[in-house]
Structure 1
Amino acid sequence: MEQTNKQNYQELATKREKKRPIIKNCFRAFLVGGTICLIGQCISFFYMYFFDFTEETVGDPTTATLIFITMILTGLGVYDKIAQFSGAGSAVPVTGFGNAVISAAIDHRSEGFVQGVGGNMFKLAGSVILFGVFSAFVIALIKTLLINFGVIG
């Protein structure tokens, strides 16, 4: 009896489920993600032209600038609208990281600066930093082994 109720519910839920416009969502994600990358490239060119950075050294200030812009837009409520429109297009680039950090800070600001903002804004950032550092270590270890065994030069 319970199995048929679950089955009936699944059939009803499937019939009433709103169909997702997958192609439209992919296009929006591509458009916004590509625009974010274009802005990042423009920032890189700006730093290389006006501040004498090279292609090798321009990555860090460009990333920091994109995160800073994202945090400002999140604080003003603009980035949330961009994220609703684009979905993963705004979450996958580094701007998604900046949005996640500042959103947590905004959500918990009523708890004070130390326990609210400081304690909660790095919950997500901590795991991202941890796994980023660990991944970099593993990749460096693999590269070192490949170099030592003469597989790559």
Structure 2
Amino acid sequence: MDVPEEKIKTDFNNLAKAAKPKPNTVKNCLSAFIVGGIICDVGQLVSDIFSRYGVAKSDLSMYTSTMLIFIGAFLTGIGIYDKIANIAGAGSIVPITGFANSIVAPAIEFKKEGFVFGVSAKMFTIAGPVLVYGLSSSVIVGVIYYLINLMK
């Protein structure tokens, strides 16, 4: 008896779909919300500390962003950020600390391949497209804004 290949594929796909664990959406959303909120609270705390030590209000966001990037990169370097990301999911990816993680993690992973072909070449594999499309879209929006103001 020869079983058609399509039936085997269909049966396998049905078994795989049945065995696939169902994500707990409510739990995942709640943990992303809580961890993302904690990251934002840390950012506010950092901002308040800088403000208390006399940093000008116009410079606070720059200092706070820089510190959060450093914290994200540091936690990635010592292996803690990945554990946070496993719990939080998008709650740890969306803040600027996730951007730092997306640059540092590939750099650490490929450091054994050398500085040029490892760290330098692979550092922007995840964050590179975000930077390209972010900068490109901001240039397009800037040109449109300029043209609109030129017509006034």
TM-score range, shorter chain: 0.7 to 0.9
Q: Which residue of 2 aligns with 1:123?
A: 125
| More deviation, 126-135/18-27 | 126-135
TM-score under structure 1 length normalisation = 0.86
Structure 1: state its 5+ residue gaps: none
- The count of corresponding residues between Structure 1 and Structure 2 is 149
Identical-pair percentage: 40
Aligned to 2:8: 5
Which secondary structure state, in structure 2, belongs to the residue aligned with residue 43 of structure 1? helix
Name the residue aligned to 1:102. 104
TM norm structure 2: 0.86
| Separation in 2, partners of 1:145, 1:33 | 38
Taking the TM superposition and a 5 Å limit, the aligned residue runs for 1:34-45 are 34-45=37-48
Match of 1:111 in 2: 113
Structure 2: distance between partners of 1:85 and 1:107: 21
Please list every run of at least 4 consecutive aligned residues from structure 1 whose deviation after the TM superposition is greater than 4 angstroms: none
SS of equivalent residue, structure 1 residue 123? coil
The superposition leaves residues 32-61 of structure 1 with CA deviations (integer Å, 9 ceiling, x where unpaired) of: 01111111122122222313321x432222
Which of 21, 24, 44 is residue 21 of structure 1 equivalent to?
Answer: 24
The CA distance in 2 between the partners of 1:139 and 1:59, in whole Å, is: 22
Task: Structure 2 unaligned segments of length 5 or more: list them.
Answer: none
| Aligned-residue offset at 1:63 | 1.2
CA RMSD across the alignment: 1.8
Select 1:76's aligned residue among 75, 78, 85.
78
User: Aligned partners of 2:37 and 2:147: how far apart in 1?
Assistant: 35
1:47-93 deviations in Å (ceiling 9; x for gaps) = 22313321x43222211111111111111111111011111111111
- AA aligned to 2:88 is S
